[in-house]
Amino acid sequence: MFLVISYLENLIPHIGLMSIALIFMINAFYTRKFIALFTGVGLLFVAAYFTLFPLSEHSILHLSCDLILIALLTFPARQFTSRWAQILYLFISLVLFNTVHTTIKDWWHQKPNQIALDKDNELLVEFNNIFNLQEWIVQHGKEYDITYPVFTPQNLYTKLDEYIAINLKAGADIAASKSQLLAHRAIVHVEENEQLGIGLPQQIGSDQIQNSSNTVNDPQASKQWAVQKLQLDKLHDLVGDVMISNHDDQTIIAILDTGIDAQHEDLRDNYISLNKKYDHDPKGHGTHCAGIAGAVTGNNIGIASLLPPNSSIKITSVRALNAFGMGNQKLLVNAMIEAVDAGADVLSISIGGITNDERERAYTEAVAYAQAQNVIVVVSAGNSALDARNASPANIDGVITVAAVNQDMKRSYFSNDVNNLKMGIAAPGENIYSTIPKNKYDFKKGTSMAAPFVSGCIGLMKHYNKDITAEDAYRIIKQTGIPLENDICVDPYAAMNELMRYYPN
């Protein structure tokens, strides 16, 4: 029996500890020995510590279910007096515990796969061409609540202008509505307009380190552990002169988010406005991402970013989420189109939602639209501790998807796994200190924070070589990245060093 438990403990430490605790607790009822009870309770505390920290909704629910299950299995043990009955019940209890524990775990991990739909039950409908679309609207416009156009790209060499949106009535059968629409020969695809959000893990406290840097004079850079880990002072020394002298034109990193506080003391000199309505941020998420990618470095104010002092690389904002940090697929695709049409070179997207293979068409065409104009799209992996293949737009071909690592350079407990994606990379995503509205600064964590580190690096690469593609940029950051236990972390200094060596000016 103990060999079985030892195997379980090596395979899944949490289940192993809980199983051993259950053995001691049941034995305490059999033998009436307090030492067995104390040992079992002690093991429960150890398991609780490793389960609860870092604290999250998942960990609290997980541990609560385990403790209830152990209590239910332990107390009936006192009813058995026969030696063989006790052994049999102990064995049955272990089997039941591990079976129910695994079932609960699987249920929890499947729960995020329930896709949240737009509140209006909106469908995105794609036609085979714009002429059939317009003819269909004339014939069926009175049957449906239609929005057209949905997407308005300037470049017409895309299928994004062949979409309409249909708002279904409350209580409508979505599956039946989709089937009815797809019966029309002119309609090639129908998908729900899924809800999107930020979904950051809870930030509790921070583990600060004191950084020493020869070139970064920003007073709060000491709170940025990534400054040291990513060698930002060496990066600034490497690219500073090149970024200033060799390029008079600007490179633009567009933050597609909740907006940006354009008047922030540590952002305004690196910020350009596309639309005044995007230049404030009621939520703070977009401003935090903006500081990571493009805070003004070397100005004796606030924090440092990947961008060197006096850089011609600028950040801008296109709002894709509302004041509550919520949005939908239609809003995000429109934000991508708007940023590309405005001349952005890099799109930084720290937004996403659970998806499936049937729900990726509009995203795929939006990314293709960006790629056709040589715009690189960087997306956060998501915070569900799942495979990033189940999240969009993180799983779309052509995007660079970013997982999060902590200060110990290990994958963050909440981060989705990007190893099964074509272009997955990792970056710092825990205890990240950055800008928030009203000239303030704060710590946040999430893959939302990891993506702007890569966006800033890609911005540097695009500024040095305007023609670099997403595939070439990814190849360089992966080859030069920092090898970790489960991931490869971006190393901007090494990536720029390799790019400048490969494409000397």
Among 440, 361, 351, smallest CA distance to 401 is for 351
Q: Which among 264, 285, 288, 463 is annotated as catalytic? A: 285
Among 35, 23, 33, smallest CA distance to 77 is for 23
DSSP letters of 337-375?
A: HHHHHTT-SEEEE--BEE--GGG-HHHHHHHHHHHHTT-
Residue 480 in tokens: 């030069």
Active site residue 285: yes
52 three-state secondary structure: helix
Rounded to an integer, what distance in angstroms lies between the CA atom of residue 487 and that of residue 498? 20
Nearest 10 degrees: Cα torsion 430, 412, 421, 495: 50
Q: Which among 66, 257, 281, 487 is annotated as catalytic? A: 257
Active site residue 281: no
Rounded to an integer, what distance in angstroms lies between the CA atom of residue 97 and that of residue 95? 6
Angle 187-192-194 from CA coordinates, rounded to 5°: 150
- Contacts of residue 400, Cβ cutoff 8 Å, sequence gap at least 6: 376, 377, 378, 379, 423, 424, 425, 454, 458, 470, 473, 474, 477
Q: Count other Cβ atoms within 10 Å, centred on residue 138.
A: 8
Among 447, 455, 444, 393, smallest CA distance to 416 is for 447
Q: CB–CB of 178/303 below 8 Å?
A: no
Rounded to an integer, what distance in angstroms lies between the CA atom of residue 25 and that of residue 35? 10
- Contacts of residue 454, Cβ cutoff 8 Å, sequence gap at least 6: 378, 400, 402, 425, 427, 477, 490
Q: Which among 448, 455, 463, 491 is annotated as catalytic? A: 448
* Catalytically active residues, by annotation: 257, 285, 448
